[in-house]
Amino acid sequence: MTYPTKQQPQAIASLTTAQRIRAIFASSSGNLVEWYDFYAYSFSAVYFAHAFFPKGNPTSQLLQTAAIFAVGFFMRPIGSWYFGRIADKVGRKHSMLLAIMMMCAGSLMIAVLPTYDSIGIAAPVLLLVARLIQGFSVGGEYGTAATYMSEVADEKKRGFFSSFQYVTLIGGQLLASLMLVLLMTQLSDAQMHDWGWRIPFGIGAVLALVVLYLRRTLVESADQNATKRHDAGTIKGLVQHAKSFWIVLGLTAGGSLAFYTFTTYMQKYLINTVHLSKSNATSLMTWALLVFMLVQPVFGALSDKIGRRNNMLAFGLLGMLTSIPIMIGLKEATSHALAFGLIMCALLWVSLYTSISGIVKAELFPMEVRALGVGLSYAIANSIFGGSAEYVALQLKDWGHEEWFFGYVAIMIGISFIASWLMPDNRKTSRL
């Protein structure tokens, strides 16, 4: 069986390889800044947690900042619905421009927020508002950017080109981590806790303005006939593709949890459980993220050869078998080299998912509901399972049952394996 009606505007069909690469760069640069801003919060939390919450033990303060990090994720479904509707009814370019402007506003707000000592309970409330704005923005960014990059990419190299969404997503994490490393080398620990943590957010706001300029050059990838359909960008139109929606939910549940476990939460795990210093944990994760970013195109190209379904099945199987041993091994690691090796083992099989996360979902939906379908299904699962990863892990640790989290990760990856088994082979059926 093959899907009918694969629409593509003439402006996209006539693009040269060089023009496609420039379009991928322009769209993905915004993705990088969006995720840099979002992860600057996670990586800087160990320095600003005390600034927004009453005095308490470090784990308690981190737990509260993790809770706000998770709440930001719960805005993603709303953002994905709003921006997905705009992308499917008006155009991908318009949606991406609006998303980056909102991320700029949220990041700038965090950079200038007063502390708890200055304004009391209003401080964490305003921090929450800023995170809600960022979560709303990121919710729209993922689905629209994934859709745009999938539609612009050359048909035979979609896995390779689309992998750059996670190259830039991880690049955003890496940039946030590098910024933190740089600040730690230039500022004292007291300065970092006092005001240094604000710098990454201010820089993020400036970078967002640069991306806003770059995105103005994008060629629209949505077909005019598709955007004019009465059900374009609507929940009613999306309901007609319920199976695809549920498959993406399943894929994202385990994929997002694995991704956030071995990236954003891992820094805190190395500090709180493995007992590395803040500087050593940050440096180790910086190198791990660098390698993780560089291998994305390799795994994306692999999916062009063996099919997206086989990539996803391999991710599910390896994740189920190795996630628990890796987490236990890290807990008992006796050297930085061993810890790095274990983290990279996990990140390599996670790459089987991340490298094709956007394209595998875009191929399941028709153009008129593609941005909405990709974004909303991803955002719901990502909010529930990815956004709560740190909070669940820290809460279980606080209860004295940290090892339960390891089993939780393995079980959720098992759900992704089942969803992968149910999804069609893109080499035979694709709506792109």
Least confident of 16-30, 39-53, 165-179: 39-53
Q: Please state the domain extents for the chain.
A: 13-422
Lookup: tokens for 2: 């093959």
Taking only the tens place, the pLDDT of each residue in 341-374 is 999 999 999 999 999 988 898 889 988 888 898 8
What count of residues does the chain have?
A: 432
pLDDT of 418 > 90? The answer is: yes
pLDDT of 10 > 70? The answer is: no
Q: Which residues, at least 6 apart from 422, have a Cβ–Cβ distance to it below 8 Å?
A: 247, 250
With 0-12 / 13-18 / 19 or more C-beta atoms within 10 angstroms meaning exposed / middle / buried, residue 8 is middle
Q: Which one of 36-40, 116-120, 122-126, 357-361 scores highest in mean pLDDT?
A: 357-361
Q: Which residues, at least 6 apart from 322, have a Cβ–Cβ distance to it below 8 Å?
A: 345, 346, 349
Least confident of 67-71, 235-239, 306-310: 67-71
Which among 165, 120, 187 has a CA at the least distance from the CA of 354?
A: 165
Q: What is the mean predicted confidence (pLDDT) over 220-235?
A: 77
Mean pLDDT of the chain: 84
Residues 357 and 260: their CA atoms lie apart, in Å, by 14
Q: What is the mean predicted confidence (pLDDT) over 3-31?
A: 70
- What separation in angstroms does the CA of 390 have from each of 261, 265, 409? 7, 5, 12
Residue 29: count other Cβ atoms within 10 Å of its Cβ.
Answer: 18
Give the model's confidence band at 1: pLDDT under 50 very low, under 70 low, under 90 confident, else very high: very low
Name the percent of the chain lying above pLDDT 70. Answer: 93
Residues 288 and 350: their CA atoms lie apart, in Å, by 13
Q: What 3-state class would DSSP assign to 75?
A: coil
Give the model's confidence band at 424: pLDDT under 50 very low, under 70 low, under 90 confident, else very high: confident
pLDDT of 76 > 50? The answer is: yes
Residue 185: count other Cβ atoms within 10 Å of its Cβ.
Answer: 8
Q: Would you state the pLDDT for residue 347?
A: 96
Residues 432 and 410: their CA atoms lie apart, in Å, by 32
Least confident of 183-187, 300-304, 316-320: 183-187
Q: Which residues, at least 6 apart from 383, have a Cβ–Cβ distance to it below 8 Å?
A: 73, 74, 76, 77
Least confident of 13-22, 227-236, 406-415: 13-22
- 13-422: CATH homologous superfamily? MFS general substrate transporter like domains (1.20.1250.20)
pLDDT of 136 > 80? The answer is: yes
